[in-house]
């Protein structure tokens, strides 16, 4: 199989699944690191955010695979998931935003391995600045809200990243580009209740972002109003306001329901040892076990707002 046939086969493989992806040279890892480091040196990255998320990027990832020469980034379309919580026999629907269903990563890995292994190419999942890579590779474009948008998916997608020793496509590294709609639109800026989105840059003021705080166990800062919470984890305010999501905004998958007893336990902050097996199975099916320590606190805020 020549290079052109390899790339065509890769693209066809993803299209059959409704995915989109790019294969670029692993040499760009150094450029990604330089960009992140430059933002950090300029104090444009909140220090707590940097320590929590960005410092764990694996810029030495090529050591995981001998002769690694490619980065493969794939975006998987994902809907919102509507989960129901019963309380005093009253039902309260709560949204889990797109991107939190990480179990799709394994499906992508299996799909790629089935394509690559007959050609004796390897594959390893890695952690790098996925949003920046998606935009630099041309797979996605930034919105003013610092969220990435993929054609046909809007912001309703989850990126997953791998290294491989397969060939890459040359000439696929570009300057970060905003959505065309963003030039004359400020819908997300106006919608964000915490003023985390700026008019003059893609970079979010993460120290003001609701998602940053409701994914962590530390107490909410005093300035963060519990009434701003809309989701079990994360936030959908800017994505709902964005005109570029008009065609996907109604894409909601109906998720499971937690009965009165399960809801009460979660609101009490029950740990894994305190929850019945059926509740744990439901949380695992939602890929929410990682967020169990914050679910009760976040749910209280959402239910209080609904009430």
> pLDDT tens, 77-97?
999 999 999 998 899 999 999
Distance separating alpha carbons of residues 114 and 3, to the nearest angstrom: 18
What pLDDT, on the 0 to 100 scale, is given for residue 169? 85
Per-position pLDDT tens, the chain of length 307: 788 899 999 999 999 999 999 999 999 999 998 988 887 787 777 677 667 666 678 889 888 998 999 999 999 999 999 999 999 889 999 999 999 999 999 999 999 999 999 999 999 999 999 999 999 999 999 999 989 999 999 999 999 999 999 999 887 788 887 899 888 899 999 999 999 998 777 678 888 899 989 999 988 999 998 889 999 999 999 999 999 999 999 999 999 999 999 999 999 999 999 999 999 999 999 999 999 999 999 999 999 866 5
Helix-helix angle 260-267:277-285, to 10 degrees: 80
Where are the alpha helices (H) located in the chain, listed in sequence order?
A: 3-17, 29-41, 47-52, 104-116, 130-136, 187-191, 210-214, 237-241, 260-267, 277-285, 292-306
Q: Tokens representing 17?
A: 């699944």
Distance separating alpha carbons of residues 205 and 196, to the nearest angstrom: 5
N-to-C CA span, the chain: 61
Residue 140 contacts residue 149 (beta carbons within 8 Å): yes
Residue 125 contacts residue 58 (beta carbons within 8 Å): no
What pLDDT, on the 0 to 100 scale, is given for residue 70? 96
Neighbours of 89 (CB within 10 A): 7
Angle at 63 between CA 57 and CA 68, to 5 degrees: 105
What pLDDT, on the 0 to 100 scale, is given for residue 249? 95
Neighbours of 25 (CB within 10 A): 16
Q: Tokens representing 103?
A: 């179990």
How big is the chain by its Cα radius of gyration, in Å? Answer: 20
Helix (H, G, I), strand (E, B) or coil at 235: coil
What pLDDT, on the 0 to 100 scale, is given for residue 43? 76
What pLDDT, on the 0 to 100 scale, is given for residue 72? 97
Q: Tokens representing 59?
A: 């810029």
Ramachandran assignment for 111, one of left (phi > 0), alpha (psi -120 to 50 degrees), beta (any other) = alpha
Q: Tokens representing 225?
A: 């109003």
Helix-helix angle 292-306:260-267, to 10 degrees: 110
What pLDDT, on the 0 to 100 scale, is given for residue 266? 97
The per-residue DSSP string of 167-225 comes to ---TT------B-GGGGG--HHHHH-TT----SS-SS--GGG-HHHHHTSSSPPPTTS-
């Amino acid at each position: 199989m020549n290079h052109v046939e390899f790339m065509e086969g890769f693209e066809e493989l993803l299209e059959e699944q409704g995915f989109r992806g790019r294969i670029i040279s692993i040499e760009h890892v150094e450029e990604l690191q330089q960009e992140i480091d430059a933002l950090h040196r300029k104090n444009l990255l909140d220090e707590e955010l940097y320590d929590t998320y960005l410092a764990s990027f694996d810029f030495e990832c090529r050591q995981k695979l001998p002769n690694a020469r490619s980065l493969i980034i794939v975006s998987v379309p994902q809907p919102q998931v509507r989960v129901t919580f019963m309380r005093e026999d009253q039902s309260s629907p709560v949204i889990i935003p797109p991107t939190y269903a990480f179990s799709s990563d394994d499906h992508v890995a299996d799909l790629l391995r089935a394509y690559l292994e007959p050609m004796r190419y390897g594959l390893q999942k890695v952690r790098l600045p996925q949003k920046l890579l998606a935009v630099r590779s041309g797979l996605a474009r930034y919105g003013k809200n610092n969220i990435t948008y993929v054609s046909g998916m809007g912001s309703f997608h989850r990126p997953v990243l791998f290294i491989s020793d397969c060939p890459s496509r040359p000439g696929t590294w570009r300057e970060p580009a905003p959505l065309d709609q963003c030039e004359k639109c400020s819908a997300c800026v106006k919608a964000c209740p915490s003023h985390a989105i700026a008019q003059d840059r893609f970079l979010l003021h993460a120290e003001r972002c609701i998602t940053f705080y409701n994914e962590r166990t530390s107490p909410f800062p005093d300035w963060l109003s519990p009434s701003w919470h809309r989701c079990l984890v994360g936030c959908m305010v800017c994505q709902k306001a964005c005109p570029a999501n008009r065609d996907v905004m109604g894409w909601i998958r109906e998720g499971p329901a937690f009965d009165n007893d399960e809801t009460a336990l979660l609101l009490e902050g029950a740990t894994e040892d305190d929850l019945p097996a059926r509740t744990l199975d439901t949380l695992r099916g939602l890929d929410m076990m990682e967020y169990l320590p914050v679910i009760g606190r976040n749910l209280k805020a959402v239910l209080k707002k609904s009430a």
